[in-house]
């Protein structure tokens, strides 16, 4: 157990190091001044420039520069935005939870809708129900996410007028960002009508969540279905059936767990797609998340923001991926022992 944890820990740290190195190299690869790219501070005169160069070790070899960069990242000094002049850490601290919140709900939707549907389709494999579910999921899966989001806006916001067009919560509610997650912040806020605020926040959340979640749900259905079909044709299911074990017991004792094991690593792959989709949908719904924030940074050629934003998003993706992988490693007994030798 400790060995597993340490191995995944080392993997995590090494991956982050490589990412940091890439983010550092961006300082030199971006057009423009290296100092400005690194710090986000525009020096007013030569003396200030010299001082900054010395402070950020830019007069020393790359390796020293890199380690200074690393240590300042760890200390929370992520540089300043060229566009707004605010510390990047604060800006990301506000934008990131919004994205995490949105993706988390979309992932929950995929888990609680996609996996049961996939199980159902897999158990009824090659029947009409199965074909219907499968056809629907393929159709949904092949929608481009921006198109789906626009259609949702067009239909629900403009035609039916039941959901707001954009934003996170109505400006009438004065909610301080404490945790950054709007549903928790509402709970913490004082002096507002909580019920109304929740209704408003959820109606804001619904459309972007559905837009992101639909595609992940569809792929979840397909992955689960395939996995279930694979498992129900394994010899141990036939063996269990020949022992007269009832269908329910076969499902709960043998199919459920064995079908879930191969799904988990594929879920880790889905996280990347999910966050990419989240970034696109955020822009369309003006959701104040990291995606729209990064796109703003691209428009404004805010290179320090891009550099740190990229690092933050990839750290999030890698953390989640490694956590899912670790979880899978822990619950799968067949990977437990004798990893490199057979008995």
CA distance 127 to 133: 10
Q: What DSSP string runs through 234-278?
A: SHHHHHHHHTT--HHHIIIIIIHHHHHHHHHHHHHHHHHHHHHHH
C-beta of 116: minimal distance to another protein in Å? 20
Instruction: Find the shortest distance in angstroms from Cβ 332 to another protein.
Output: 7
* Interatomic CA distance for residues 297 and 289, integer angstroms: 12
On whether the CB atoms of residues 311 and 259 are closer than 8 A, the answer is no
Between 138 and 239, CB nearer to another protein: 239
Distances (CA, A) of 224 to 86, 145, 270, 282: 45, 22, 13, 28
Residue 35 CB partners (closer than 8 Å, separation 6+): 41, 43, 49, 52, 53, 56, 58
Which CB sits closer to another protein, 257 or 301? Answer: 257
Largest alpha-carbon pair distance within the chain? 86
In whole angstroms, give the CA distance from residue 39 to residue 68: 12
Q: How far is the CB of 231 from another protein (least distance, A)?
A: 10
CB of 242 to another protein, least distance (A): 4
CB of 333 to another protein, least distance (A): 5
- Contacts for 185 with CB less than 8 Å, ≥ 6 apart: 175, 176, 177, 178, 179
Nearer to another protein, 233 or 301 (CB): 233
CA distance 157 to 206: 11
Residue 17 or 238 with smaller CB distance to another protein: 238
Q: List residues binding another protein (CB under 8 A).
A: 233-236, 238-246, 249, 253-254, 257-258, 261, 332-334, 336-338, 343
Residue with tokens 């890698």: 318
CA 270 to chain centre: 9
Closer CB to another protein, 89 or 241, in the complex: 241
Distance CA(311)–CA(74), nearest Å, equals 13
CB of 120 to another protein, least distance (A): 19
In whole angstroms, what is the distance from residue 255 CA to residue 250 CA?
6
Q: 1 or 63: whose CB is closer to another protein?
A: 1
Residue placing its CB nearer to another protein in the complex, 44 or 334:
334
Task: Give least dist CB 239 to another protein, A.
Answer: 4
Nearest of 169, 119, 114, 143 to residue 286 by alpha carbon: 169
Specify the 3-state DSSP secondary structure of 87: strand
Nearer to another protein, 77 or 130 (CB): 130
CB nearer to another protein: give 54 or 234.
Answer: 234
- Nearest distance, CB of residue 232 and another protein, angstroms: 11
- Minimum distance from residue 257 beta carbon to another protein (Å): 5
Alpha carbon of 304 to those of 26, 30, 77: distances in Å?
A: 9, 10, 12
């Amino acid at each position: 157990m400790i060995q597993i944890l340490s191995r995944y820990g080392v993997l995590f740290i090494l991956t982050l190091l490589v990412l940091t190195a890439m983010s550092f190299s961006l300082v030199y690869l971006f057009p423009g001044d290296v100092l400005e790219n690194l710090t986000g501070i525009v020096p007013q005169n030569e003396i200030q420039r010299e001082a900054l160069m010395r402070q950020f070790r830019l007069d020393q070899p790359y390796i020293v520069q890199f380690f200074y960069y690393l240590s300042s990242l760890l200390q929370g000094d992520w540089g300043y935005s060229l566009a707004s002049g605010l510390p990047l850490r604060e800006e990301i601290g506000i934008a990131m939870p919004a994205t995490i919140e949105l993706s988390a709900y979309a992932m929950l939707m995929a888990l609680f809708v996609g996996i049961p549907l996939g199980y159902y389709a897999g158990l009824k494999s090659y029947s009409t129900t199965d074909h219907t579910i499968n056809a629907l999921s393929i159709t949904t899966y092949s929608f481009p996410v921006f198109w789906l989001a626009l259609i949702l806006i067009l239909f629900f916001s403009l035609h039916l007028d039941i959901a707001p067009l954009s934003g996170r919560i109505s400006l009438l509610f004065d909610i301080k960002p404490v945790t950054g997650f709007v549903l928790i912040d509402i709970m913490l806020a004082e002096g507002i009508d909580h019920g109304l605020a929740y209704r408003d926040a959820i109606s804001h959340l619904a459309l972007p969540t559905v837009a992101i979640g639909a595609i992940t749900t569809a792929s979840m259905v397909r992955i689960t279905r395939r996995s279930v079909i694979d498992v129900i044709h394994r010899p141990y299911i036939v063996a269990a059936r020949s022992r007269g074990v009832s269908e329910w017991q076969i499902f709960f004792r043998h199919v459920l767990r064995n079908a879930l094991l191969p799904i988990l690593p594929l879920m880790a792959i889905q996280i990347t797609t999910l966050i990419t989709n989240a970034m696109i949908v955020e822009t369309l719904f003006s959701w104040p998340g990291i995606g729209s924030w990064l796109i703003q940074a691209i428009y404004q050629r805010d290179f320090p923001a891009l550099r740190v934003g990229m690092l933050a998003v990839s750290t999030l993706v890698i953390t989640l991926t490694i956590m899912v992988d670790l979880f899978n490693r822990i619950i799968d007994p067949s990977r437990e022992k004798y990893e490199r030798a057979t008995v």
